[in-house]
Chain A
Amino acid sequence: MSKHIVNPLGSPHKKISSGLIDGPTQKETYEYNVKVLTKRFKKVFDSLEANLKPKTKISKRGKLKGSRLHMYSYNNKLFTQKEDKFQDFNTTFVFLLDVSGSMSAKTEGVNGMTLSRLGLSKAILKALSIALKKSLKGKIKIEVLLKSCPESKFQEHGNAGFLSRVYSSSVSNINPNVIDNINYSCPVADEQGNQSGSSTPELLLGKAVSYFLKSYVKTKNYLVFNMTDGDIYTNMSSENTYTSWSNRDNYKCMKKYFKGIPFISILMGYGFGKEDMKNHPNPVLCTDDKFVVRLETTISKLARSLSQ
């Protein structure tokens, strides 16, 4: 049966072979979470913006600085100019989101409301996108990429992995609402339009992430957030062999592709022991009931460090 590529956001009503899709009650909870989180994030960024002081630089033009007047005979830099106080925020937050089936496990969102891990991840990403569009003059950009791997072979590529760019605040007129349509699936469908579910390729997609960072991210700084709830669980190979990938390989790929790149692992769920944590760079262990608070705090700290 031939398979083709579909937009992972474009077919929310089509069948997904894994059978995982958030229902209407989840939708209401999700929307409530988005609303509350947007307010929370906006508050964080607005207070950050309010505390920013414009920097001044010595220049040949601008406002005359009295204390430098004595230098007039040998130096023409006697003036001060105000610099854009937002220039240090020229940053992109790159989110790598796991869309494997295990992300359907329930977790706790704002006010103890229950929704899926993917649902909460989407709510956070959407809330961040809305808040950052309104705050800090939109200087912090957001990119959302989905990590997935189909359950069976795809064309001549065999057991290939997919890195799908589905939302970018750098691309004009893309509404953050598109994040609503992210689901537990791979961008691969059969002739009937049934989309494939996804296993967990994690940082085996590292080379593609490097390609994306080099080719698409245009800001001075960037931070990569890897959002996942589990270990590598995939059989990626272009040959008819079975390869038993493990979290040690995740660690190897991190060393290989993300050396020197600011990288935060947002770990969801309770499945991470101390040993597992070693395989994820800069882990923020978000046990389900503290997930929102931990992520909010992490992003707030990062944003503040950028302004210093």
Chain B
Amino acid sequence: MAINAHTFKLNLKDQQESKENPTGNPNDLLGNLKQETKTTTDNIQKGGSVSDNLEDYSLSQNEMEEILLQGDLKVIQTQESCYNNENELTKFNVLFVDFTKRMN
């Protein structure tokens, strides 16, 4: 078979695709993607379910420490210079709290 410019381009494209999906089977790529999505969803869903009763969500010091261990609370240290005083950096903390994980 004579190789013309058109075929050569197609072959190059095929090679490129085979790097992304070594088996060449589009179903494998889809399968991997599905598995990846499932794993992500499973991780997200670890938070559990929400109950009708929304009372008693106050967190004691111990519970707060527990949250810190679980990673639901993240203390993010920040520093910004104020527009009115560019030369001085103000340090402050921002607390990111994920309450969706506690709604079960």
Contacts and interface: CB of A to CB of B under 8 A. Distances in A.
Query: Interface centre among B1, B41, B93, B101, by most A CB within 10 Å?
Result: B93
Contacts of B7: 74-75
A160 B54 contact: no
B74 to A, nearest CB: 6
A162 B95 CA distance: 5
Chain B interface size band reads: 35 or more
B93 A157 contact: yes
Contact of B99 (A8, A172, A193, A212): A8
A216 B43 CA distance: 10
Interface of B is mostly: mixed
Contact of B82 (A174, A187, A208, A244): A244
Query: Interface centre among B74, B95, B101, B102, by most A CB within 10 Å?
Result: B95
B59 A165 contact: no
Interface stretch (A42-50, A108-116, A231-239, A259-267): A231-239
B10 A243 contact: no
Contacts of B1: 73-74
Nearest to A215: B74
A221 to B, nearest CB: 15
Interface residues of A, number: 63
A85 interface: no
A238 B100 contact: no
Given A163-B94, A166-B100, A238-B93, A211 B58 contact: no
Contact of A189 (B41, B58, B83, B101): B58
A55 interface: no
Contacts of A236: 90, 92
Interface stretch (A119-127, A248-256, A295-303): A248-256
Contacts of B97: 5, 162-165, 187
Contacts of A178: 50, 54, 103
15 contacts: A5-B64, A6-B59, A73-B1, A74-B1, A75-B10, A164-B97, A165-B100, A167-B100, A171-B45, A173-B49, A173-B50, A187-B99, A205-B94, A212-B96, A218-B40
